[in-house]
Amino acid sequence: MRRFRRILAAPRIRSGSRLVIDGAPARRLAAGCALVALLAGGCGRRNARIETSAPFPATREAAGDGDVTSAPRSGPALEAYNRGVAAFDRGRLAEAETAFTSALAVAPDFGAARYNLALVWLKRGLYDRAEPQLRALAAASPRDADLLFAHGNCLFHQARFADAAAVFRRLVGVVPGHREGAYSLARSLQETGRRTEAIAAWEAYLRLDTTSGWADKARRALRELRGE
């Protein structure tokens, strides 16, 4: 499981093949990425700026039913999907949305297109559109760590911190040692004002990570919560 992923362009799909990331079927990372924008809110406040719960969710080889064979092998859905990928890569999110929507109009079970469309909405800040989509995908695959993380991330950006914490708690239950999930759980609990639980969650996170910049942020959060 890769940790602290950065924003991904959606994987291209080559006609007649499995869904793959260009040039690296076993990996999901892409270069030239950035962290998702900061969210309005704060530690015990709602008007200060805070950092996002974690980096932007990763795209998947497939989503929803988890079956890569559900993707079309050729035809207009595949062509529209790859147009969406190219647009996403260039930051042309409105164009990507149109392309992924077109792919789904032809192939409603195209799981990767449905997930990537939700990520476009999330990237555009259209959380009210993304959340139902991500909730449905996560419900269909309740042990899928990437889908859980994306749904929790969206809830966090809606300032639905208690709901986000519940999703991130499920995530770390499914994948113990999931650092993104552990960080996001602690961040969400801190936002709810559940001080004791937040302290325990930050301590749990620091058992997974002691050296990164995220660990430094966790230690600062602990000092603040403890009044040090």
Q: Under a CB-based contact definition with an 8 Å cutoff, are residues 94 and 44 in contact?
A: no
Q: What is the DSSP letter of 63?
A: -
Handedness of CA 107, 110, 112, 116 (dihedral sign): positive
Chain CA centroid to CA 214, Å: 17
Residues 6+ apart with CB under 8 A from 182: 168, 172, 201, 204, 205, 208
> What residues does 50 pair with on adjacent strands?
39
Block means of pLDDT (10 residues each) for the chain, 228 residues, are 32 34 24 24 26 45 40 80 89 95 92 90 95 93 91 96 97 95 96 96 96 94 94
DSSP SS3 for 220: helix
Domains of the chain: 39-226 (1.25.40.10)
Model pLDDT, residue 11:
41
Ramachandran region, residue 107 (left: φ > 0; alpha: ψ -120 to 50; beta: rest): beta
Token digits of residue 180:
């993104």
Model pLDDT, residue 127:
96
The closest of 92, 87, 65, 76 to 10, measured between CA atoms, is 87
Q: Is pTM, for the whole model, over 0.75?
A: no
Residue 160: what are its φ and ψ, rounded to 5°?
A: -95, 70
Number of H helices, E strands in the chain: 9, 2
Alpha carbon distance 10, 181 (integer Å): 21
